[in-house]
Amino acid sequence: MARTVQILGRTYLPGPGFNTSGNPKQGKIMTWGRINVSSYTTGGEALVPNDVGLTTIDNITFNAEKVGAAGVTAPTVAAGGVWDGVNQKVLLFTGGSQVTSTHQPVVGFTAYGDSARDVESLA
């Protein structure tokens, strides 16, 4: 397993949000960037919220920029999702099958959640 996460941008979302218990919460943010995987681990690559600039991931989507030398270009999201929030791993698929360790996927992401830079998170 070897991966690099690049956060390319972030923007705070206007208005109040809510935490997972439904209580009002300020500091919701959207981040986007790129994950470069040099050796994919079958079963998923570890990805914790702080890797994408968040303390809690409310929603995250992925789009493949490159998967392997063969030029496969999109993970199959219909395979059951690509982020395992319980185990905090990214599962990457191509053509309905999980990519292998020989692939070197580059995956873009857009994530929404509680900001790791938020005042409430630092208390």
**C-beta of residue 116 within 8 angstroms of C-beta of residue 53:** yes
The CA-to-CA distance between both ends of the chain, in Å, stands at 33
d(CA 8, CA 34): 7
How many other C-beta atoms are found inside a 10 Å radius of the C-beta of residue 36?
15
Q: pLDDT tens across 48-98, in order?
A: 999 999 988 989 988 877 655 454 444 433 333 478 888 998 887 776 777
d(CA 58, CA 9): 17
Q: Are 120 and 27 in contact (CB under 8 A)?
A: yes
For residues 10-25, give the mean pLDDT.
80
Amino acid at 52: V
Count of other CB atoms within 10 angstroms of residue 10: 17
pLDDT at 117 over 50: yes
Q: Which residue has the tokens 């580059």?
A: 106
What lies within 8 Å, CB to CB, of 72 at 6+ separation is 64, 94, 95
110 closest CA partner among 76, 82, 72, 69:
82
- Report the pLDDT value the prediction gives residue 100, as an integer from 0 to 100: 72
CA dihedral defined by 103, 94, 84, 111, rounded to 10 degrees? 90
Would the pLDDT of 17 be above 60? yes
Map out the domains of the chain as residue ranges.
2-118
